[in-house]
Structure 1
Amino acid sequence: MALEARFLPGFFRRKAVVHEVVLVGGAEGDIPARNAPGPALVFSFPSYSTICNGKTGKTNLTEPVPFWKLKTLREMDDAEWESLCDGCGRCCLNKIEFEDTGEIVWTDIRCKLLDPQSCRCSDYENRRAQVPDCIRLTIEEVETLTWLPPTCGYRLVKEGRNLYWWHPLVSGDPDTVHAAGISARGRTVNELDVAWDDFEDHEVAWPGEIPEDSLKAGASRRRTR
């Protein structure tokens, strides 16, 4: 599917605005079995990893294996796909593209539908009616877009990496993404309050960065367990 974006021609005659992005589901697929090195075979299922001892033939259940470690993005069902969003709100910030270089920079200007406190869309079901140029994030876009935040769950899974500790799927708490300083909470302005000519005054770097303190907090949490 082609990337759905509205570029504003003539924006300073050198820039165009890429609007905010939302998520759509992936496709279902089979879950591949995996073999662990050594005499024990590990058969991976949606929720648990079953260990079969090569000498005794006995099996036992180990810790649950999360779906994002078992499946590719294309193998996930709609519910799994949607849950990969950590609710940071970064993707719902307006971005500026330099037409001469193709460089894309972030702004702290949020979509008019993004709730500044929860960092969730305030009218998700009707978002396309209110924001016609809202980008629909599909598997194809995840595989090709270069500006997805480095903390994005979709990007991390695509790159074969694990989710960070603050992701609700890991922490079990939707507020950890805010507590870790990852979300857009408290540092954005509504696009309705900013004139087009002033967009470049709102360029920021933080949506494309990972706070070092957040990574340190994750390391500290692991040491205390």
Structure 2
Amino acid sequence: MGAAPGMTEPFWKTIPLDKMDSEQWESLCDGCAKCCLLKLEDEDTGEIAYTKLHCTLLDAGTCQCSDYANRKQKVPDCVKLTPAGIEELPWMPSTCAYRLIHEGKPLPDWHHLVCGDRERVHTEGHSVRGRTVSEDTVFEDDMEDFIVDWEDDGNDR
């Protein structure tokens, strides 16, 4: 869909990911927090399974990192998303704006840059808000018990 006469296209449709400034880049995040979930990889097949276990730094009520600026120091395996790295992260959720734009797809209608409402990702059930458990509360041997299909469970629930 093109822009109305006199209107310009939104930045995410005209600026490549690797040319966005930091404010544009950060604004793409919809706040679903699915990238903050622990994922398990099958050693034989390489298949990735999401869990409902969240990173120790995730505030499950807000779906925000509780120490975003220092997350790499506190959680060394936390992945810092970059334009170059998106292609190398097959576990990114199918609804992730970074992934969608990289793949040339439109943002969903519930994305805050489209609808103007940062809460809509949560109210429509596309985030993990209120549906996860901290990784600190589970023994490593029990992690498989927390596998969930966030992509195919009815409105991402």
Same fold (TM over 0.5): yes
The answer for the alignment partner of 1:89 in structure 2 is 33
Structure 2 stretches lacking a partner, 5+ long: none
Question: For the structure 1 residues 210 and 92, does the alpha-carbon distance in structure 2 shift closer, same or farther, using more than 3 Å as the test?
Answer: same
Root-mean-square deviation over aligned CA pairs: 2.1
Distance in 1 (CA, whole Å) between partners of 2:11 and 2:88 is 23
The count of residues paired between Structure 1 and Structure 2 equals 156
Larger of the two Rg values belongs to structure: 1
- Match status 1:141 vs 2:81: no
Q: How does 1:71-220 map to 2 (within 5 A)?
A: 71-206=15-150, 208-209=151-152, 211-212=154-155
For 1:125-155, what per-residue CA distance to the aligned partner results, in whole angstroms no more than 9, with x for missing partners?
1112211121111122212221211110001
State TM-score, norm by structure 2. 0.91
With normalisation by structure 1, the TM-score equals 0.65
Map of 2:7 onto structure 1: 63
CA contact (8 A) 2:109 2:115 kept: yes
Q: Structure 2 CA distance, aligned partners of 1:187 and 1:210?
A: 13
Could you say if the C-alpha distance between residues 204 and 210 of structure 1 is closer, same or farther in structure 2, counting changes exceeding 3 Å?
A: closer
Percent identity, aligned pairs only, is: 51
**Cα distance in 2, alignment partners of residues 119 and 212 from structure 1:** 17
Q: With CA pairs under 8 Å and 6+ residues apart, which has the higher RCO, 1 or 2? A: 2
Give the 3 Å change call, closer, same or farther, for CA 213–108 of structure 1 in structure 2: closer
Q: Deviations over 1:55-97 (max 9, x none)?
A: xxxxxx5234210111111121111111110000000000000
